[in-house]
A = this chain, B = another copy of it.
Amino acid sequence: MAIRYPNGRQYTPKNKTVKNESKKKSDVLAKNKLTFSNRGKSLEDEIDEANMFYLQRGTAVIHKKPVPVQIVKVAYPSRSAAVIQEAYFRTPSTTDYNGVYNGYYIDFDAKETKNKTSFPLQNVHEHQVTHMRAATKQQGICFLLVCFSTLERFFVLPFDVLDSAWQAMEKGARKSIPLNVFEEQAIEITESYAPRLDYLKAVDQLLSAL
C-alpha cells in the first residue's frame, strides 16, 4: 500500500529516488581507497576533525590553542558585538595543541612539509622545543605531528627524537630529519575512517613503549 501525505501526494522514500547513490558512494570510496588523498583539507582541519571526534566519543579532550593577540582598541557599536579594531599578533610561548587523554597530558604541534626526503628543522621554533622540553620533564607526552604532504604520509615524531636532532643541529649537524629516521623512530599514522587522521592510535604505540 502506498503511503500518502495529508495532501494526497504519494510518499516516496528518498533512497528510492536517488537511484545511483550507492554506486556513486562506492566510486568515491574506491577513489579514496584508504589514502589521505583528495581531501582538500588542511592538516589543521584534519586535526580539528579528529579532536572533535575524540571529544564527542569521550576518547580525549584536546584543543587547539587560540592565536595569541595583543588587543589594543575595542569598539562597542550599539546593539551589536564588540569589534576589535586594533590588535597585534604575539609570539606564542607554547605549542598549538594540548589536552588530556586517559590520564596523560598530551602536547604537540602540527607541521607540514612538501619535502620528500627529509623534514627541515626550520619548521620548528626554538620556543616550541623549550616548551616541549619543560613539559616532557613534567611527564607530559610531547610530539610533533608531521605531514609529508607530497608523500601523503603522516607521522607522530616523539619529542626525544626531535630534541636529539635539534641539539645535534645546534652543534653543527644537519638541519633536517631524514625520512628514514621517521620510518625507524617515529610512528606512522595509519589511514582510518573515523576520524580520518586517527593520531591517538599512533600515540597509543608511543605510550605502550614507555
A61 in contact (CB, < 8 A): yes
Q: Bound complex: CA of A112 vs CA of B109, how far in Å?
A: 33
Docked-complex contact B61 and A138, CB < 8 angstroms: yes
A168 in contact (CB, < 8 A): no
Residue numbers in B under 8 Å from A66 (CB-CB): 65-69, 90, 92
A165 in contact (CB, < 8 A): no
Residue numbers in B under 8 Å from A93 (CB-CB): 63
Docked-complex contact A101 and B61, CB < 8 angstroms: no
Docked-complex contact A100 and B58, CB < 8 angstroms: no
**Distance between A126 CB and nearest chain B CB, rounded to angstroms:** 16
Docked-complex contact B65 and A137, CB < 8 angstroms: no
Interface residues in A61-97 (C-beta closer than 8 Å to B): 61, 63, 65-69, 71, 81-90, 92-94
